[in-house]
Structure 1
Amino acid sequence: MSLTLRPYQPSDAAVITSWLKSEYLMRQWCADRYEHYPVMPEDMNEYYERYIDGQRSRAFTMVDGDDIVGYITLRTPTDDPAEQRLGFVIVDDSRRGCGLGKALVTMTVKYAFKTLGAMKVSLGVFENNPSAIHCYEASGFHSVLRHDTESYECLGETWNCIEMEQHKEL
């Protein structure tokens, strides 16, 4: 594998949205950020145009040669750029279990620390997504307690988030 991270391009959307094989998987990926299933490429690009500004929020596509194999966002959740937050983490469903998720997360965390000067990278993951939790732990994240548990109404259920973070080694 020859994995690289590059800025998201609107032409990537058709491949990325094709990985969302069910509404359950789509909600694990984006919670309530998209109103309906299936998410179409134009929905993804509309979201990108509205919320990804290239300064406080960035979107990346991971490629293996010419193949699109992953997607992730990175944003500054507060006015302090020392914290960056991962979101919308997804890899090619036909290549799961091959270390792509760990590579995607690790490359993005490295970018946050080295390029953006972050001291902490955080994320929220649904507690009903054990494979994602394992991926984040394998990438160096650990769970932290929040005063308020973030939760979303998804598919008639309440899904709770686990807050995770990783600090830059000094």
Structure 2
Amino acid sequence: MAVRPVHSVDSRVSRAPAALALRLRSFETPDAGVVAGWARTASEGYWLAPRTSPPLTAEKVCDWGRGGRQQWVLCERGSAGVLLAYGELNLLNAARRSFWLGHIVVDPQRRGYGLGTEITRRLLERAFVHCAASSVTLVVFPTNRSAVRAYQAAGMRADGFEDHEFEAYGRTERLARFMMTAAEWRRLGAG
């Protein structure tokens, strides 16, 4: 079965992720402007960063890395650093070795190729293999169906809901929580 994009894209990225040689690398300050530009509308900005007051800027993306948060980008290997996706791996509870994923976003011109699933899988691998995580969680707006599908495809499971207050927008929302444990990671054959 051929993988077809949701959006038409230029010839540099017309292949599905399986055909791309991808790499996860540490976020660098020059990446921030690119990532900030991926939230094209107010609703995309809200879904991506509801605690960040609009408009989303490069400086605000850099601020997400404060406090020891690990910022990562997914790139096409050998593509002179063309960014495809962004996400974070953050320590939630050191004693429990629990982590959370945040701000996962894919370049709008590359959506529909499974890159959200791919960066999620790679962040999970970093958590379980390199950070000895016992569990990894994330929260997502349940109406963001493509993100929900990406997290499920990466092997995460629904684990209830959380109410969050977003002062930057003056709203309270119920977010869906997704989770994976180290045992679930091993059962997937990934670890």
Trace 1:11-160 onto structure 2 (pairs within 5 A).
11-32=30-51, 34-37=52-55, 39-48=56-65, 51-53=66-68, 57-64=69-76, 65=79, 66-80=81-95, 82-145=97-160, 149-153=162-166, 158-160=172-174
CA 1:103–1:47 in 2, change beyond 3 Å: closer, same or farther? closer
SS of equivalent to 1:150: strand
Task: Give yes or no for contact 2:35–2:61 (8 Å, CA) kept in 1.
Answer: no
CA 1:12–1:168 in 2, change beyond 3 Å: closer, same or farther? same
Instruction: Tell me the amino acid that sits aligned with residue 164 of structure 2.
Output: S
Alignment partner, residue 177 of structure 2: 163
TM-score (norm 1): 0.87
Over the aligned positions, Cα root-mean-square deviation in angstroms equals 1.8
Equivalent-residue separation in structure 2 for 1:26 and 1:152 (angstroms): 16
SS of equivalent to 2:92: coil
Superimposed CA distance per residue, residues 1-22 of structure 1 (whole angstroms, 9 cap, x where no aligned partner) = 1111111100001111111101
Larger-gyration structure (1/2): 2
Per-residue deviation at 1:63?
Answer: 0.7
Equivalent-residue separation in structure 1 for 2:21 and 2:67 (angstroms): 26
Per-residue deviation at 1:78?
Answer: 1.7
Unaligned runs of 5+ in 2: 1-19, 187-191
Instruction: Tell me the amino acid that sits aligned with residue 41 of structure 1.
Output: A
Per-residue deviation at 1:150?
Answer: 2.0
Count of residue pairs the alignment pairs up: 161
Equivalent-residue separation in structure 2 for 1:47 and 1:160 (angstroms): 22
Unaligned runs of 5+ in 1: none
Alignment partner, residue 11 of structure 2: none
Superimposed CA distance per residue, residues 7-45 of structure 1 (whole angstroms, 9 cap, x where no aligned partner) = 11000011111111011101101112x1122x1112222
Equivalent-residue separation in structure 1 for 2:94 and 2:123 (angstroms): 20
Task: Give yes or no for contact 1:31–1:152 (8 Å, CA) kept in 2.
Answer: no
TM-score (norm 2): 0.78
